[in-house]
A = this chain, B = another copy of it.
Amino acid sequence: MALNIMVAQSGGPTVAINASLAGVISGAKKYFPSAKVFGSINGIEGVLKGKIVSLDSQVDSDEKIMLLKHTPAMALGSCRYKMPTDENDPVYEKIDEIFCRYEIGVFIYIGGNDSMDTVLSLKKYFKNKNREVLVLGVPKTIDNDLLCTDHTPGFGSAAKYIATTMSEIASDCYIYDLDAVTIVEIMGRNAGFLTMAAAIPTFLGEYAPQLVYLPERPVKTEKLVSDIKNALKKDRAVIVAVSEGVKTEDGEYLSAAMPDAFGHRQLSGAAKVLEKIVKTEIGCKVRSIELNTPQRAAAHIASETDIEESFALGERAVLAASEGETGVVSVIKRISDEPYEITIETEAVEGIANLEKKVPDEFINEEGNHVTEAAYRYMAPLIEGERKIVYKNSLPAKFKIDNTKLI
Contacts and interface: CB of A to CB of B under 8 A. Distances in A.
A380 B394 CA distance: 8
A200 B299 CA distance: 17
A289 B293 contact: yes
A164 interface: yes
Contact of A176 (B77, B259, B303, B389): B77
A262 B290 contact: no
Interface stretch (A54-62, A66-74, A132-140, A212-220): A66-74
A77 B380 contact: no
A301 interface: yes
Contacts of A177: 41-42, 45, 77, 79
Interface residues of A, number: 60
B276 A172 contact: no
Interface in A72-104: 72-74, 77-80
Given A164-B395, A261-B258, A176 B78 contact: yes
Contacts of A290: 289-290, 292
Contact of A164 (B163, B276, B396): B396
Given A167-B395, A167-B398, 12 more contacts: A41-B177, A77-B176, A78-B175, A160-B394, A163-B394, A164-B300, A165-B294, A204-B392, A206-B398, A289-B292, A301-B301, A383-B394
Interface of A: 13, 41-42, 45, 71-74, 77-80, 160, 163-165, 167-169, 171-172, 174-177, 200-201, 204, 206, 258-262, 276, 289-290, 292-294, 296-301, 303, 380, 383-386, 389, 391-396, 398
17 contacts: A73-B172, A73-B175, A77-B176, A77-B177, A164-B396, A165-B294, A165-B297, A167-B398, A168-B299, A172-B293, A172-B296, A204-B395, A206-B395, A289-B293, A290-B290, A300-B301, A380-B393
